[in-house]
Structure 1
Amino acid sequence: MSVPSESPAPGPVRLVLTEVKYSLPEMLEELKTERASSTFAMEKLDQKEIAKLFKSKATRAKSKK
Structure 2
Amino acid sequence: MTSVKPRPRGPVAEVRYSLADLMAELDAERNSSSMAMEKLDQQEIGKLFKNKTTRRAKPKK
Equivalent position amino acid for 1:60 in 2 = R
**Which amino acid in structure 1 is aligned with residue 42 of structure 2?**
Q
- Taking a change above 3 Å as real, the CA distance of residues 49 and 17 of structure 1, as seen in their structure-2 partners, is farther
Matched, 1:39 2:34: yes
Deviates more, 1:40-49 or 1:19-28: 19-28
The root-mean-square deviation of aligned C-alpha atoms, in Å, is 2.6
* Structure 1, unaligned runs of 5 or more: 1-15
Question: Could you list the runs of 5+ residues in structure 2 that have no partner in the other structure?
Answer: 1-10
Size of the aligned set, in residue pairs, is 50
Identity of aligned residues (%): 56
Paired AA for residue 58 in structure 1:
T
How far, CA to CA, are the matches of 1:42 and 1:17 in structure 2? 37
